[in-house]
Every structure is written in structure tokens, then in C-alpha cells.
Amino acid sequence: MNAFGVDIGGSGIKGAPVDLDRGELAQERHKVLTPQPSKPAAVAEKVAEVVAHFDWRGPVGVTVPAVVTDGVTRSAANIDHDWIDCDARGLLSDWLGLPVVLLNDADAAGVAEMSFGAGRGRRGTVIVLTLGTGIGSALFVDGTLVPNTELGHLELDGHDAEKKASSRAREDEDLTWQQWARRVQKYLRHVEMLFSPELFVIGGGVSRKADKFLPLIEGVRAEIVPAELRNNAGIVGAAMAAAGADTAGAARTGGS
């Protein structure tokens, strides 16, 4: 069974049909740049461009870097503030002319990892973190998602954690892997103190270079593993939502 997912990020918008039997992209993904400024209508136009590239005609799952409740975006992380309190699901559906399911980007990536990737079959408390333009988070308890946690905005040394420990922070400040690993380590210890997870799954584009920084992290009791779906996790999770499950229902995975 195939479904379609689109992942909206701070720098790029990417989408593809997904084979939901395998949890893999059914075709090579199509990516366009996120417009700057990233106003809702401008982004919706680009999402429509991605979907039209595949001539897709069914429901579409779309992720957005924001808190999402009933299709409305309640925050705006690394996108324009006009997204706050925007009926994003309605806007996107109008642009696409198709039914849209909308969910938080990190929640989508987490659902995919729990179903097809590094979290598959894991019980207890699992936290999936996406290290990219910001830090996204997805919290699972016995395979069930606690949506919209936004743990990248925890305060760390007087700053949003993502301002110090995201992949963008490493690039912008030209940090060595060792320097950045110390920041990620401090962040993980803080999250662990609050939630006591059994497992951290580290995703985002930087997960493909996990060997450069994960072995440098010390003093974290939880198991730490790289994401398996890497930067395609958001697309897969969005497609899962489009296949007919709501955000919470799609997250009841845990290998079931």
C-alpha cells in the first residue's frame, strides 16, 4: 500500500509516495527550497509543487515544525510567525485540492522510527530527537505518542536548547565534533533527568554521521542509537498519517 507524505522544514520541503508495507520511499523524493520568508501561502504553494511532481491524487500527510492541534498550527519553530494560529490543514487542502492530514514534524519522524526503524518493538519510554535546523522531539510511552512535546525549546544555559545543540548551531559556530558532542551530551542529560527514557533515537540529517559524535557522548544512562530512516522519517510518518490514522492513532506502534 502506498501513501503520500510531505515534510516541511526550515530550509527544504520534500515529499514522496511511501510503501507502507516496508516503510520505505516508493519513489525518489522530490525536494524544493522553503521560501523565505516562509509565509503559509508561499509554503503551501511549494507543497503543491512537490505533490504535483508525482501527479498524486489521494490524501496527503504533511508535517510542519510547529505544535499542531486539530489542523491548526499553534507555534512556529524555524518558520514564519504567521503560522501561529493558522488553519494550516485548511490552507494546504485548498492549495492541493486534496484531503490533508497535518502533524508535527518530529512526531511524524518518531512514529516512523517506532514503526519501521530504531524504535521498533521497544516498550517503556522512548524519545526520538531530530537534530537539524532546530531540535524536534517525539516522546513515546509503551509505543504511544505524547504529541507536541517540543523538547528542543527546553532552557539550557539560559537559551533554547536548540540554539546551542542543534546541527545548525554546530555549522553556524563552526564547532568541532568534540565541541558539539559536549553540548548534545549536556542536553541529553537534561532531558534524561526530566523523563528517564530507556532509549534515545537520534535522527535528522546529521544521523548519517552518528559515528562522529555519538561515541563521544558520556554520562547518559539511556541507550543512544542513530535513527534508521534518517532524513526520510518525516515523509514516512506523514504518509502513515495520510493512510487513515490520526496523529495519536498512528503512533500506537511498539511493534504491534
Residue 77: what pLDDT?
Answer: 83
Asked whether residue 141 falls in the same domain as residue 84, the answer is no
Residues of the domain holding 163: 121-229
Contacts of 53 (CB under 8 A, 6+ apart): 15, 30
Distance CA 41, CA 95 (A): 9
Residue 10: what pLDDT?
Answer: 86
Residue 197, preceding bond cis, omega within 30 degrees?
no
Asked whether residue 20 falls in the same domain as residue 66, the answer is yes
Asked whether residue 131 falls in the same domain as residue 225, the answer is yes
Rg (CA), the chain: 17
Asked whether residue 218 falls in the same domain as residue 244, the answer is no
For residue 62, is it within any domain? Answer: yes
For residue 179, is it within any domain? Answer: yes
Residue 244: what pLDDT?
Answer: 74
Look up the CATH number of the domain holding residue 44. 3.30.420.40
CB 251 within 8 A of CB 114: yes
Angle at 187 between CA 72 and CA 73, to 5 degrees: 5
Tell me the pTM: 0.91
| Tally of structural domains, the chain | 2
- CB count within 10 Å of CB 159 equals 13
Asked whether residue 96 falls in the same domain as residue 155, the answer is no
SS3 of the chain: CEEEEEEECCCEEEEEEEECCCCEECCCCEEEECCCCCCHHHHHHHHHHHHHHCCCCCCEEEEECCCEECCEECCCCCCCHHHCCECHHHHHHHHHCCCEEEEEHHHHHHHHHHHHCCCCCCCCEEEEEEECCCEEEEEEECCEEECCCCHHHCEECCEEHHHHHCHHHHHHCCCCHHHHHHHHHHHHHHHHHHHCCCEEEEECHHHHHHHHCHHHCCCCCCEEEECCCHHHHHHHHHHHHHCCCCHHHHCCCCCC
Distance CA 145, CA 130 (A): 15
Q: What residues form DSSP beta bridges with 137? A: 129
Give, for all 256 residues of the chain, the pLDDT tens digit: 899 999 999 889 999 999 999 999 999 999 999 999 999 999 999 999 999 999 999 999 999 999 999 999 999 988 999 999 999 999 999 999 999 999 999 999 999 999 999 999 999 999 999 999 899 999 999 999 999 999 999 998 899 999 999 999 999 999 999 999 999 999 999 999 999 999 999 998 899 999 999 999 999 999 999 999 988 999 999 999 999 743 333 334 343 3
Asked whether residue 38 falls in the same domain as residue 135, the answer is no
Asked whether residue 61 falls in the same domain as residue 154, the answer is no
